[in-house]
Amino acid sequence: MAEKTHKLMNDNPFLRWTVLALVALTMFFAYMFVDVMSPLKSLVESSLGWNSGVFGKYAASEYILNVFGFLLIAGVILDKLGVRFSGVLAAGLMVLGALIKFIGISEWFQTTAFCGWLGSWWTEMPASAKMASLGFMIFGCGCEMEGTNVSKILAKWFKGKEMALAMGLEMAIARLGVFGVMWIAPLISAKFGGSVIAPLGFCGALLCVGLLNFLVFGVMDRKFDRELVAEGLATDEKSPEDEFHVSDLGAIFKSKMFWIVALLCVLYYSAIFPFQRYAPNFLEETLGVDAATASRLFSCFPILAMCLTPFLGFFLDRKGKGASMLMIGSVIMIACHLCFAFLLPAFPSKWLAVTLIVILGVSFSLVPAALWPSVPKIIDEKVLGSAYCLIFWVQNVGLCLVPMLIGALRQSTGGYFVPMLVFSCFGILAFIFSIYLKREDVKKGYGLELPNIRKDE
């Protein structure tokens, strides 16, 4: 690899942090849309005729197309066609999915003949839920593809620099979307007379802004690539050994470290994201508060995560200890879900609920902050996009099945005790895999415990 003779765009702090801001805001808007209906669960069920089982199937629909192969295709698209094309495509899919979901929830749709036909089969699932789920499926394809795309963008623009800090900040900004929508969705709904569609439309409009962000990023990234070519750090045409081939996916699947990371990821996130879907309703029933109050209480979940994640990224860049952080984060998650199962129902206090939610947010800082910057250390750069997508694919299998499982358990048991135990079990398994990951790192020397910033740069 040639030595660079001039400063590149990513050597300019303002430009590389501008790239971070553009892509992070897009994910911020995406996270808002993901959870826009979570604080409105009771309203959705009363106004649209859904129940917990239907809501669980709707929540699972975000991941269905990803599970059945889209993320595998997305990884190939990302590595073959690059981050610019993939970014705009993913943002466009999110906007399209949001539009379909908006139509499905609208009063106008309920009057159409298509709605009547849609509701005439599989009658346990209302037509509005079927249409909303279709839109959520398409949105989910774009959202998960964009998540992997953003990881590769930050790995590219922050290579040898503050990569963990950048990824941590991106995750913190994205999680701010969860905090924001837990407050904004009930307020907008109340402003429009208990409307479900108004907050949905607001978050959909923000996704259009996210699409514009990626168009701006595309201009910057194209210029950056030209600089890399001019400096001899990249070529217009990749050499045969650097060219991505679909057969390279086999090497990823054969990697023991890939499977350890992927299984750790699916187990950990299966106890976080499905929990987010049901948490406001869980607090509503456990504490005996209204839906808006429950949503505001749960909005505290990402606050400490937002504050801690950048500092954890800063620590990882300079000191390392990524594998150890994964273990600590898993233990915290286990303890929190067990407290939700046993302690909070016995002592239904708002302050106890907020304390547990905020502590769970600490876990949500430790694990992702350590997990995603570790992937470039174990996977070849030319298949990095595919590796991220494959990890997301494995993760999506869990995220598709778990909401349906939780919804069915909630419906059959009439409470949240068993679902919270299930979440705890996921945490225990995640802890076991984190121990295995650290042991493999000690044996093979992947550098998961080492800092990201290189001393020679």
pLDDT per residue rounded down to tens, the chain (457 residues): 455 556 788 778 888 899 999 999 999 999 999 888 888 888 888 888 888 788 888 888 888 888 787 877 887 787 788 888 989 999 999 999 999 999 988 888 888 888 888 878 877 888 888 999 999 999 999 998 898 888 888 888 887 777 777 887 887 788 788 888 888 888 999 888 888 899 999 999 999 999 999 999 989 888 888 887 876 666 554 444 445 556 666 777 777 888 888 888 888 888 888 888 788 889 999 998 887 888 888 877 777 777 777 777 777 777 777 778 888 888 999 999 999 999 999 999 999 999 999 888 888 777 776 777 777 777 776 677 677 778 878 887 888 788 888 888 988 888 899 999 999 999 999 999 989 888 888 888 777 777 766 554 4
- CA-to-CA distance for 290 and 293, rounded, in angstroms? 5
Predicted pLDDT at 452: 64
Predicted pLDDT at 39: 82
Rounded to 10 deg, the angle between the 127-157 and 163-191 helix axes is 150
Task: Compute CA 58 distance to the chain's CA centroid, rounded to the nearest angstrom.
Answer: 17
- CA-to-CA distance for 37 and 44, rounded, in angstroms? 8
Q: Confirm whether pTM is higher than 0.85.
A: no
Q: Enter the tokens of residue 66.
A: 């990803």
Residue type, 33: F
Residue type, 101: K
- CA-to-CA distance for 40 and 197, rounded, in angstroms? 11
- CA-to-CA distance for 28 and 368, rounded, in angstroms? 16
Task: Compute CA 85 distance to the chain's CA centroid, rounded to the nearest angstrom.
Answer: 20
Instruction: Walk me through the domains of the chain, giving residue ranges and CATH numbers.
Output: 9-444 (1.20.1250.20)
| Chain length of the chain | 457
Predicted pLDDT at 325: 82
Residue 29 contacts residue 208 (beta carbons within 8 Å): no
- CA-to-CA distance for 271 and 268, rounded, in angstroms? 6
- CA-to-CA distance for 91 and 142, rounded, in angstroms? 6
- CA-to-CA distance for 297 and 14, rounded, in angstroms? 36
Residue 294 contacts residue 287 (beta carbons within 8 Å): yes
Neighbours of 242 (CB within 10 A): 12
